[in-house]
Amino acid sequence: MEPVSPSTSSTARIAAVSGLVFAVLFVAALVFVHRAPTLGDPDTTYAAFYADGGDQLFVAVGLYLVPFAGIAFLWHMTAMRDVLNTLTPTPSAMAHGLNLLAGIIFVTLLFAGTAAVGATAFGVYFGHAPVEDPATARALTAVGYGLVFVFAVRGAGMFALTTTTLLRNAGVLPKIPAVVAYLLAVFLLLAVTNNPIAVLVFPAWVVLVSVFLLRHARRVAAPSPGSLPDPTPDTTSPSLRSDPS
């Protein structure tokens, strides 16, 4: 492993803080957007929801939070890749490339999926559009659920899997937390559900990784015993003061 520079500590801290910000914004956005009717709700629930403008505002707020969550994730991903490039200048080319592509896929499909789920509420509340037919709203919800739960979650799982491997190889993740991170990644890759609780697995993984990035930043910032100055004066060097004759 190459020696780390002082900038690695600040970069790891940026990666950790942006990851925690992403987790908070993502969970808040999910809570707001989930106020919209789900696929299992009857047509009467759809009609009542879009006839009453109260909860539509919360869905619209959730839509506005999603881009900020995505931006925070991009900061998290970019800073973490910078840390990995410093710790392992020659990482696995396959894992490093898949890490970048999977992160971009996750953010892109997250934006598209949440936009589809909240499109009707957004149009009714801000555009003063007439209340949509429940069938149209349900179709948009189905498209959004498919983009998020089928595709975006798989991208998140691949990102979590490759990043865990890279962080483990770089010595940032100890063995037991790495096993937990791998289990969360496998769940994201294999889970077949449209329950929003399943999506919370990814921010949980991000929080886990961010905690150890902060730990790594503190460890790098702390001076090593070998770097401390020796308090014992050097008595072997010649003195500039001449002895009195």
- Structural domain includes residue 236: no
Q: What is the pLDDT of residue 85?
A: 87
**Which residues span the domain enclosing 146?**
6-221
- Structural domain includes residue 232: no
Q: What is the pLDDT of residue 241?
A: 45
**Angle, alpha carbons 204-190-66 (nearest 5°):** 45
- Structural domain includes residue 130: yes
For the chain, 245 residues long, the average pLDDT of each consecutive 10-residue run is 60 94 96 86 81 74 93 95 84 82 95 89 68 78 92 95 92 93 95 84 96 88 54 47 46
- Structural domain includes residue 55: yes
Domain count, the chain: 1
Per the structure block, which two tokens stand in for 244?
């009195």
- Structural domain includes residue 24: yes
Q: What is the pLDDT of residue 126?
A: 67
- Structural domain includes residue 235: no
Q: What is the pLDDT of residue 129?
A: 61
Do 37 and 242 meet the contact criterion of CB atoms below 8 Å apart? no
Per-position DSSP letters for 6-19, written without gaps between them = HHHHHHHHHHHHHH
Question: Which of 128, 144, 137 has its CA nearest to residue 46?
Answer: 137
- Structural domain includes residue 53: yes
Say which amino acid occupies 23. A
Q: What is the pLDDT of residue 54?
A: 59
pTM for the model: 0.83
User: Could you give the CA distance from residue 12 to residue 85 in angstroms, rounded to a whole number?
Assistant: 12
- Structural domain includes residue 113: yes
Q: What is the pLDDT of residue 73?
A: 97
Say which amino acid occupies 188. L
Say which amino acid occupies 42. P
For 47, other C-beta atoms within 10 Å of its C-beta total: 16
Q: What is the pLDDT of residue 15?
A: 94
Per the structure block, which two tokens stand in for 201?
């697995």
